[in-house]
């Protein structure tokens, strides 16, 4: 090729993407704004590129055996169109042969690529020009003073259209490329020649590498770089500003089974739901209202780009990413248009679908307004900074459910929650609230639409076997559809469901069998407002405007039970869809709108409607430079196309909004709106599904529940509020004893122990009455204790008093007889003085019993024991003296016996005086040191107050009693020794028997006294006194009275002396003379 001169090759600044290509050795390269990954070249579709004039820097070309530089340029490989190429002057002309190959056939035209292309698409295949390398410096806009430059003829590279190319990873040899940074140059740079290389040769090699790159591109069928396509149907309407949306329209999806031989296919949607489609249309209706409003966003048109998630988290996330990238290939944070029109997203309906979207959009600072996600965790602005919602947080819903359970008195309920993180967290919060309120949960089962029939049957068995009548349901409705049908098949239709706000009571989504199970259900729905014109908007829908309103054909098929011609029919030949009539488009939708779209409950549709107005008002304030608060200003004023999502996020958080009707609404710091719920009741009447409002819960008005219980209709089993408890209520007077191993609400009712009461139903424990009170018979209240003592008004007191009087009279009678017949031999023979003392003491003993009867007092208590002990000691000492006199009288019959001097009244008087004095001393010490006193004893009998005499120091009581026992035992042994004396004069046998009775009574008295309490202790002592005194009276005096009164023939000296010597008798009856009245 002949040499040609020409101007230097001028190239505007190039922005080279940063590549990390091992083992490529490059100088530091700072190329904003892209940081390219290590060079593993993915498929790339290379568009045409027009190459402008270039200033070629010095290059260090790789050795001839290495691969060229083309992979480094492949990322943005356009079609090239080169202007005439003028090599810088060199010292020698090129001497090598001209490159061979066809001449290029195209040229650049006004900045556009020509339609022609090179015939081969490759670099010239001839040898490179030979000759010495050029030397010198490139001129700066004028000819050099050195040798004439080599001038190449103009080289025009035709536009090259590279077909799709799949390029395997290449190892690029070391290449040294100078870095050009900064602003565009005002004039061409002067490029110095490299040592050992001429600029002409360097340029030639650069062009060879470039042509080789383009020729390689033709040989590969795939694109050099591309993202995987995301196959999702979108529904869009153009506008100056777009609102994205991810909605549930189909309630299910199917994932094809992967074969691992081809790329997995995306999930397909199924089960079109009119009720969900209504939310979708509500957003479109709101956008139309904004676009027709003269006051809101004037001269700006809102558009939308919407996707159907089909209840799939994968599709929901993919739809959100696709909306934000505005291309079919979703790339997080990637804006593939010059101006982004999408300013925010509306959706999702369910919390489980909103969570992954909120995490991604939070990173990108893109606002998301949900119209149905209630999970309280979404209020955490640290984890979800760009999430907002037009429905209340379920924190308030949990409070409402807990209060409903308590309001109806349900203490034992079951729970069903959706089997995901949202259901797990929400279920635990609701369960904790129910248990904190005093109720308990019998079971907590999980459910999901992906469950197999075996798993669903297990849940059905748990519900059927449980005794609970109420089940709290915290799950989206789509997950429970199959379960409700299975409950109907198992005839489990008597349970009452209490549904959270996440369970939308949508009649169209359930079968008639499920209606039967849901009859009587109580549910919560977020409060809604009016949507004027929405019903007319729905009535105007028609398939002729299919492009404007997507899925209208699916709606038409469901509304009129028809199918469109040419539509794909799923199933086999027996599928009922085969026999459906064809849709004509002439059907009238207007009359079906109220029932088809369930217009009685606009929940969630209204909240999607609110979300659009929240965006519209935020955009309006942003574009008009109206700061949301007085002290803040966000964003810039100007073209709506320059609006960024983060600017809209700042405004939408702080700008109050209102629909066409209603009060202004504003998001709080957590991105929530004020909470309010309607309480509804499902009533199936005459085969129709009715949702009746029966109450309201407004946390802003004091957390109170307003409920009209009379308006609630329960299911067929219950005509009033159904009970739901594990155990019946424990009546007052009993307490709840939990059953081991069962929930706390399963318990047994145990009566309160003696002395304790409960005055409430289902008391957890009993409490003790005050000391002076006692429970009544029902043990539900404390009443004053009865004060008890041995009184004259009660039968026992009367009986004892009468008995005392009778024995007192008997004793007086005997005393009278002895006084009257004191001169008779039989009376003389008994030692009249001792007999009179004994009879008087016995009379006083009987009278002492009366002191024990009646209310104890400070006067009677000291006299009771002490007076009795002293008097009774006189009686026992008299008996002892009589026994001693009998023994002495018979022992002194011998002549010159020393006992004869003891005969007479001196000994008996001494014995009686000494014994009585000893007992009086003991009793005196008792009264001085620890006298008895009256007290009220509440410990003896829990239900009574015993008024008694406290004995003081009990030692004195037992000492005095022991002293009497000692006297009795001495008398008993003495009488026992004299038992063989002559019978008529001998009282020893009678004394022995009387002492035996006395000892038996008082020995029995001690255990009886210790084992009895209260008034019966006093009765035992009175009985002991009466028995022992009566024994003495009967054994000693009645035989003599019998002789005196009934057998006077025996009351003679001769009769008494028969069987004994007169001398003996004379000594025995020797007494002081007593004058007889006869």
- In DSSP notation, 1033-1055 reads IIIIIHHHHIIIII-GGGSSHHH
> Whole-angstrom Cα distance, residue 6 to residue 11?
15
CATH superfamily of 234-256+265-391+604-654: Response regulator (3.40.50.2300)
Q: Please choose, from the candidates 11, 61, 67, 62, the residue with its C-alpha nearest in 3D space to the C-alpha of residue 39.
A: 67
Question: Which whole number is the average pLDDT over 687-706?
Answer: 85
**φ/ψ bin of 752: left (φ > 0), alpha (ψ from -120 to 50), beta (otherwise):** beta
The answer on pLDDT for 19 being more than 50 is no
> Whole-angstrom Cα distance, residue 759 to residue 768?
11
What is the CA angle 608-612-617, rounded to 5?
145
Q: What is the pLDDT confidence band of residue 121, given thresholds at 50, 70 and 90?
A: very low
Q: What is the pLDDT confidence band of residue 547, given thresholds at 50, 70 and 90?
A: low
Return the minimum-mean-pLDDT range out of 196-205, 497-506, 512-521, 868-877.
196-205
The answer on pLDDT for 1056 being more than 70 is no
Q: What's the pLDDT at 455?
A: 94
Locate 70 and state its tokens: 């083309």
Residues whose CB falls within 8 Å of the CB of residue 842, separated by 6 or more in sequence, listed in order: 811, 875, 1029, 1032, 1033
> Whole-angstrom Cα distance, residue 433 to residue 809?
81
Question: Which whole number is the average pLDDT over 147-170?
Answer: 46
Return the minimum-mean-pLDDT range out of 116-130, 245-259, 701-715, 1023-1037.
116-130
The answer on pLDDT for 1075 being more than 60 is no
Question: Which whole number is the average pLDDT over 847-868?
Answer: 90
Q: What's the pLDDT at 667?
A: 93
The answer on pLDDT for 49 being more than 50 is no
Q: What's the pLDDT at 69?
A: 39
Q: What is the pLDDT confidence band of residue 59, given thresholds at 50, 70 and 90?
A: very low
Q: Which long-range contacts (CB under 8 A, 24 or more apart) does 636-644 make?
A: 640/240, 640/241, 640/300, 641/240, 641/241, 641/339, 641/341, 642/339, 643/241, 643/343, 643/619, 644/340, 644/343
Q: What's the pLDDT at 246?
A: 94
Question: Which whole number is the average pLDDT over 157-175?
Answer: 46
Q: Scan for tokens 């153009």, then name that residue.
A: 238
How many helices (H) does the chain have, and how many strands (E)? 25, 27
Q: Check if 234-256+265-391+604-654 and 395-529+676-711 are the same fold.
A: yes
Of residues 34 and 991, the one with the higher pLDDT is 991
Q: Measuring CA to CA, how many Å separate 581 from each of 490, 560, 584, 700? A: 35, 9, 9, 53
How would you class 484 by CB atoms within 10 Å of its CB: exposed for 0-12, middle for 13-18, buried for 19 or more?
buried
The answer on pLDDT for 993 being more than 90 is no
The answer on pLDDT for 379 being more than 80 is yes
Q: What's the pLDDT at 87?
A: 41
The answer on pLDDT for 230 being more than 50 is yes
Q: How many residues does the chain have?
A: 1078
List beta partners, residue 825. Answer: none
Question: Which whole number is the average pLDDT over 893-921?
Answer: 77
Q: How many CA atoms lie within 13 A of 284 on its CB side?
A: 21
Kindly report, residue by residue over 897-908, the tens digit of the pLDDT: 666 666 667 788
Kindly report, residue by residue over 251-289, the tens digit of the pLDDT: 888 877 777 777 777 778 888 889 899 999 999 999 999
Across the chain, mean pLDDT equals 75
Q: What's the pLDDT at 243?
A: 93
Q: What's the pLDDT at 973?
A: 84
Kindly report, residue by residue over 629-663, the tens digit of the pLDDT: 444 444 456 566 678 888 899 999 989 998 887 78
Q: What's the pLDDT at 923?
A: 92
Q: What's the pLDDT at 628?
A: 54
Alpha helices of 475-633 — where are they, by DSSP H? 481-489, 512-518, 534-539, 552-560, 593-596, 605-623
Q: At what angle do helices 313-325 and 351-364 cross, to 10 degrees?
A: 30
Which of 20-34, 172-186, 456-470 holds the top average pLDDT?
456-470
Q: What's the pLDDT at 885?
A: 79
- The span from the first CA to the last CA of the chain, in angstroms, equals 197
Q: What is the pLDDT confidence band of residue 921, given thresholds at 50, 70 and 90?
A: very high
Return the minimum-mean-pLDDT range out of 518-522, 816-820, 1026-1030, 1049-1053.
1049-1053
> Whole-angstrom Cα distance, residue 358 to residue 784?
69
> Whole-angstrom Cα distance, residue 545 to residue 879?
134
Strands in 688-698's sheet, in edge-to-edge order, are 440-447, 412-418, 470-474, 496-499, 522-526, 677-685, 688-698, 704-707
Q: What is the pLDDT confidence band of residue 924, given thresholds at 50, 70 and 90?
A: very high
Q: What's the pLDDT at 277?
A: 92
Question: Which whole number is the average pLDDT over 377-384?
Answer: 92
Return the minimum-mean-pLDDT range out of 69-73, 512-516, 708-712, 785-789.
69-73
The answer on pLDDT for 166 being more than 50 is no
> CA-CA-CA-CA torsion for 211, 217, 218, 221, nearest 10 degrees?
180
Q: What's the pLDDT at 158?
A: 53
List beta partners, residue 444. Answer: 415
Q: What is the pLDDT confidence band of residue 83, given thresholds at 50, 70 and 90?
A: very low
Kindly report, residue by residue over 736-768, the tens digit of the pLDDT: 898 888 888 888 999 999 889 999 988 889 998
Q: What's the pLDDT at 895?
A: 59
Of residues 350 and 1062, the one with the higher pLDDT is 350
Domain positions in the chain: 1-226, 234-256+265-391+604-654, 395-529+676-711, 542-588, 734-784, 801-1062
Of residues 872 and 125, the one with the higher pLDDT is 872
Q: What's the pLDDT at 1012?
A: 85
Q: What is the pLDDT confidence band of residue 330, given thresholds at 50, 70 and 90?
A: low
Q: What's the pLDDT at 832?
A: 82
Q: What's the pLDDT at 292?
A: 92
The answer on pLDDT for 1041 being more than 80 is yes
- Just give the CATH number of 801-1062: 1.20.1070.10
Q: What's the pLDDT at 687?
A: 83
Q: What's the pLDDT at 1077?
A: 39
The answer on pLDDT for 118 being more than 70 is no
Per DSSP bridges, beta strands 522-526 and 496-499 are parallel
Of residues 690 and 110, the one with the higher pLDDT is 690
Q: What's the pLDDT at 358?
A: 93
Return the minimum-mean-pLDDT range out of 207-211, 406-410, 611-615.
207-211
> Whole-angstrom Cα distance, residue 991 to residue 845?
18
- Phi/psi for 23 (5° steps) reads -95, 40
Q: Under a CB-based contact definition with an 8 Å cutoff, are residues 508 and 479 in contact?
A: no
SS3 (DSSP) at 562: coil
Locate 945 and state its tokens: 């107050």
Q: What's the pLDDT at 521?
A: 93
Question: Which whole number is the average pLDDT over 145-161?
Answer: 46
Return the minimum-mean-pLDDT range out of 245-254, 294-303, 576-585, 1036-1045.
576-585
Under CATH, what is the fold of the domain 395-529+676-711? Rossmann fold (3.40.50)
The answer on pLDDT for 174 being more than 90 is no
Of residues 516 and 147, the one with the higher pLDDT is 516
- Phi/psi for 497 (5° steps) reads -100, 135
The answer on pLDDT for 774 being more than 60 is yes
Q: What's the pLDDT at 549?
A: 74
pTM: 0.57
> Whole-angstrom Cα distance, residue 205 to residue 197?
11
List beta partners, residue 20. Answer: 38
Q: What's the pLDDT at 205?
A: 53
Locate 1072 and state its tokens: 């002081």
The answer on pLDDT for 180 being more than 70 is no
The answer on pLDDT for 169 being more than 70 is no
């Amino acid at each position: 090729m002949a040499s040609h001169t020409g101007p230097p090759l001028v190239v505007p600044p190039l922005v080279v993407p940063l590549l990390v290509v091992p083992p490529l050795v490059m100088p530091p390269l700072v190329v904003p704004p892209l940081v390219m990954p290590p060079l593993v070249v993915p498929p790339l579709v290379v568009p045409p590129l027009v190459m402008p004039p270039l200033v070629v820097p010095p290059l260090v070309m790789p050795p001839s055996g290495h691969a060229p530089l083309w992979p480094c340029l492949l990322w943005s490989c356009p079609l090239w169109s080169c202007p005439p190429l003028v090599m810088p002057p060199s010292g020698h002309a090129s001497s090598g042969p001209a490159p061979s190959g066809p001449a290029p056939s195209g040229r650049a035209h006004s900045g556009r690529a020509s339609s022609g292309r090179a015939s081969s698409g490759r670099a010239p295949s001839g040898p490179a020009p030979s000759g010495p390398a050029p030397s010198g410096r490139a001129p700066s806009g004028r000819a050099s003073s050195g040798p004439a430059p080599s001038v190449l003829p103009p080289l025009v590279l035709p536009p090259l259209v590279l077909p799709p190319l799949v390029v395997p990873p290449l190892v690029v040899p070391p290449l040294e490329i100078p870095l050009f940074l900064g602003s565009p140059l005002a004039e061409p740079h002067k490029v110095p020649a490299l040592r050992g290389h001429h600029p002409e040769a360097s340029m030639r090699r650069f062009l060879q590498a470039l042509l080789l790159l383009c020729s390689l591109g033709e040989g590969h069928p795939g694109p050099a770089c591309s993202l995987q396509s995301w196959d999702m149907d979108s529904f869009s309407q153009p506008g100056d500003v777009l609102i994205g949306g991810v909605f549930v329209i189909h309630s299910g999806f199917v994932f094809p089974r992967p074969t691992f031989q081809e790329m997995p296919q995306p999930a397909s949607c199924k089960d079109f739901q009119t009720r969900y489609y209504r939310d979708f249309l509500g957003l479109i209706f709101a956008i139309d209202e904004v676009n027709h409003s003269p006051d809101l966003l004037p001269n700006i048109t809102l558009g939308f780009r919407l996707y159907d998630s089909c209840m799939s988290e994968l599709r929901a996330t993919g739809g959100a990413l696709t909306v934000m990238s505005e291309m079919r290939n979703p790339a997080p944070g990637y804006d593939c248009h010059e101006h982004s029109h999408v300013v925010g997203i509306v959706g999702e309906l369910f919390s489980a679908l909103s969570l992954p979207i909120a995490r991604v959009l939070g990173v990108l600072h893109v606002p998301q307004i949900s119209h149905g996600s209630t999970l309280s965790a979404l209020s955490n602005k640290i984890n979800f900074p760009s999430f907002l919602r037009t429905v209340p947080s379920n924190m308030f819903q949990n409070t409402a459910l807990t209060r409903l359970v308590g309001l109806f008195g349900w203490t034992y309920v079951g729970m069903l929650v959706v089997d995901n993180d949202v259901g797990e967290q929400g279920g635990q919060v609701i369960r904790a609230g129910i248990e904190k309120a005093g109720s308990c949960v019998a079971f907590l089962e999980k459910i999901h639409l992906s469950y197999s029939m075996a798993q669903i049957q297990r849940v059905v068995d748990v519900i059927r076997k449980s005794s609970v009548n109420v089940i709290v349901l915290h799950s989206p409705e789509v997950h429970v559809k199959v379960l409700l049908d299975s409950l109907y098949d198992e005839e489990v239709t008597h349970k009452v469901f209490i549904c959270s706000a996440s369970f939308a009571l949508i009649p169209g989504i359930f079968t008639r069998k499920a209606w039967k199970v849901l009859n009587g259900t109580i549910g919560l729905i977020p409060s809604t407002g009016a949507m004027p014109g929405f019903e007319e908007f729905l009535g105007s829908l028609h398939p002729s405007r299919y492009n404007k309103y997507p899925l209208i054909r699916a709606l038409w098929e469901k509304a009129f039970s028809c199918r469109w011609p040419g539509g794909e029919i799923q199933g086999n030949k027996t599928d009922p869809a085969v026999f459906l009539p064809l849709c004509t488009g002439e059907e009238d939708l207007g009359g079906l709108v109220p029932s088809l779209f369930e217009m009685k409950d606009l929940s969630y549709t209204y909240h999607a409607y609110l979300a659009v107005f929240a965006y519209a008002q935020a955009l309006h304030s942003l574009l008009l430079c109206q700061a949301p608060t007085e002290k803040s200003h966000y964003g810039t004023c100007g073209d709506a196309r320059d609006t960024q999502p983060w600017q809209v996020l700042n405004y939408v958080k702080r700008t109050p909004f209102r629909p066409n009707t209603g009060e202004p609404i504003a998001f709080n710091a957590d991105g929530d709106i004020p909470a309010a719920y309607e309480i509804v009741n499902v009533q199936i009447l005459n085969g129709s599904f009715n949702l009746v409002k029966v109450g309201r819960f407004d946390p802003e008005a004091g957390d109170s529940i307003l409920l009209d219980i009379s308006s609630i209709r329960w299911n067929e089993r219950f005509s009033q509020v159904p009970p739901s408890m594990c155990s019946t209520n424990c009546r007052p007077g009993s307490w709840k004893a939990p059953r081991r191993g069962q929930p706390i609400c399963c318990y047994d009712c145990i009566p309160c122990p003696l002395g304790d009461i409960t005055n409430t139903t289902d008391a957890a424990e009993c409490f003790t009455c005050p000391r002076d009170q006692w429970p009544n018979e029902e043990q539900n209240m404390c009443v004053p204790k009865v004060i008890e003592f041995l009184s004259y008004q009660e039968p026992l007191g009367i009986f004892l008093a009468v008995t005392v009087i009778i024995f007192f009279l008997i004793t007086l009678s005997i005393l009278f007889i002895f006084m009257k017949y004191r001169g008779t031999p039989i009376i003389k023979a008994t030692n009249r003085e001792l007999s009179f003392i004994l009879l008087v003491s016995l009379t006083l003993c009987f009278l002492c019993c009366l002191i024990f009867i009646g209310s104890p007092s400070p006067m009677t208590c000291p006299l009771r024991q002490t007076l009795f002990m002293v008097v009774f000691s006189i009686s026992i000492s008299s008996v002892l003296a009589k026994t001693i006199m009998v023994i002495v009288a018979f022992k002194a019959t011998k002549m010159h016996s020393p006992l004869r001097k003891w005969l007479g009244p001196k000994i008996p008087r001494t014995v009686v005086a000494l014994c009585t004095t000893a007992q009086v001393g003991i009793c005196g010490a008792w009264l001085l040191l620890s006298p008895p006193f009256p007290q009220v004893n509440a410990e003896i009998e829990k239900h009574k107050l015993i008024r008694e005499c406290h004995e003081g120091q009990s030692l004195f009581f037992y000492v005095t009693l022991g002293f009497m026992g000692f006297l009795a035992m001495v008398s008993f042994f003495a009488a026992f020794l004299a038992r063989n004396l002559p019978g008529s004069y001998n009282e020893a046998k009678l004394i022995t028997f009387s002492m035996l009775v006395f000892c038996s009574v008082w020995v029995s008295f001690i255990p009886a006294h210790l084992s009895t309490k209260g008034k019966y202790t006093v009765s035992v002592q009175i009985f002991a006194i009466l028995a022992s005194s009566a024994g003495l009276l009967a054994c000693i005096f009645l035989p003599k009275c019998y002789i005196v009164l009934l057998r006077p023939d025996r009351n003679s000296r001769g009769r008494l002396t028969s069987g004994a010597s007169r001398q003996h008798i004379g000594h025995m009856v020797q007494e002081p003379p007593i004058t007889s009245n006869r």
